[in-house]
Structure 1
Amino acid sequence: MMGEFDAIRPYDDAEVPAVLARLFSDPAFLDILTHFRFPRAAGAFGWLLKPLIARRLRKEFAGVSCVATLQDKVEYYVDQTIDRATDGVTYSGVEQLKAGTAYLFLANHRDIVMDPAFVNYAVYHAGLPTPRIAIGDNLLQKPFVSDMMRLNKSFIVHRSLTGRREKLAAYQLLSAYINHSIRTDGASIWIAQAEGRAKDGDDRTDSAILKMFHMSRKDEPFGAVIQGLNLTPVSISYEYDPCDQAKARELYIRATTGSYTKAPGEDDKSIATGITGYKGRVHIHFAAPVREFFADTKLLAQEVDRQILGGYRLFPVHYLAYAMWQDADPALAVPPAEKLFQADELAKAKQEWQRRLDACPVEQQPYLVLQYATPVRNQYQVKVQSQVA
Structure 2
Amino acid sequence: MRTPEEFDEIRPYDPEELPAIFEELIADPEFRAAAEQVLPEVPYEEACNRLRRCRTNLEVQQTFFYPLLHGIVDRCSDGLVLENSQSVDKRVPHTFITNHRDIVMDSAFLSISLLDNGFGNTMEIAIGDNLLIRPWIKKLVRVDKAFIVQRSVSLRQMLASSARLSRYMHYAIATKHENIWIAQREGRAKDSNDRTQDSILKMMAMGGEGSIIDRLKQLNLVPTALSYEYDPCDYLKAQEFQQKRDIEGFKKSPKDDLVNMQTGIFGYKGRICFRVAGPLNDWLDTLPADMPKTELFTAVASRIDKEIHRNYKLYAGNYVAADLLRATKEFAAHYTSEEKTRFEAYLESRLEKVTLPNPDTAFLRERLLTMYANPVFNYMAARQE
| TM-score (normalizing by structure 1) | 0.87
Q: What's the CA shift for 1:207?
A: 0.4
CA distance in 2 between counterparts of 1:354 and 1:80 reads 28
CA distance in 1 between counterparts of 2:340 and 2:23 reads 49
CA distance in 1 between counterparts of 2:51 and 2:143 reads 13
Q: Which range moved further: 250-259 or 109-118?
A: 250-259
Q: In the TM superposition, what are the counterparts of 1:49-198 in structure 2 within 5 Å?
A: 53-74=43-64, 75-128=66-119, 129-164=121-156, 166-198=157-189
2:18 maps to which of 16, 19, 24? 16
**Residues 133 and 154 of structure 1 are in contact (CA less than 8 Å); yes or no, is this contact kept in structure 2?**
yes
CA pair 233-139 structure 1, distance change in 2 beyond 3 A? same
**Residues 81 and 274 of structure 2 are in contact (CA less than 8 Å); yes or no, is this contact kept in structure 1?**
yes
Q: What's the CA shift for 1:177?
A: 0.6
CA distance in 2 between counterparts of 1:335 and 1:196 reads 30
- Structure 1, unmatched stretches of 5+, are 39-48
CA pair 270-367 structure 1, distance change in 2 beyond 3 A? same
CA pair 150-97 structure 1, distance change in 2 beyond 3 A? same
1:45 is matched with none
Aligned to 1:220, what secondary structure does the other structure show? coil
Is 1:270 the counterpart of 2:260 in the alignment? yes
Question: For this pair of structures, how many residues does the alignment match?
Answer: 365
Q: What's the CA shift for 1:276?
A: 0.8
CA distance in 2 between counterparts of 1:270 and 1:256 reads 20
Letter of the aligned partner of 2:310 in structure 1? G
CA distance in 2 between counterparts of 1:344 and 1:16 reads 52
CA pair 101-235 structure 1, distance change in 2 beyond 3 A? same
Is 1:355 the counterpart of 2:349 in the alignment? yes
CA distance in 2 between counterparts of 1:70 and 1:220 reads 37
CA distance in 1 between counterparts of 2:56 and 2:268 reads 32
CA pair 265-157 structure 1, distance change in 2 beyond 3 A? same
1:231 is matched with 221
Q: What's the CA shift for 1:334?
A: 4.4
> Deviation above 6 Å: which 4+ runs of structure 1?
none
Q: Which range moved further: 109-118 or 265-274?
A: 265-274
Aligned to 1:141, what secondary structure does the other structure show? coil
CA pair 160-53 structure 1, distance change in 2 beyond 3 A? farther
CA distance in 2 between counterparts of 1:265 and 1:350 reads 30
1:307 is matched with 307
CA distance in 1 between counterparts of 2:250 and 2:370 reads 18
Q: What's the CA shift for 1:34?
A: 4.0
* Seq. identity, %: 33
Letter of the aligned partner of 1:311 in structure 2? N
CA distance in 2 between counterparts of 1:344 and 1:13 reads 53
| TM-score (normalizing by structure 2) | 0.88
Deviation string, structure 1 residues 121-157 (Cα, Å, up to 9, x no partner) = 2111112111110000111121111111111110011
**Residues 170 and 218 of structure 2 are in contact (CA less than 8 Å); yes or no, is this contact kept in structure 1?**
no
CA distance in 1 between counterparts of 2:340 and 2:320 reads 9
Q: What's the CA shift for 1:96?
A: 2.3
Is 1:255 the counterpart of 2:245 in the alignment? yes
Is 1:245 the counterpart of 2:235 in the alignment? yes
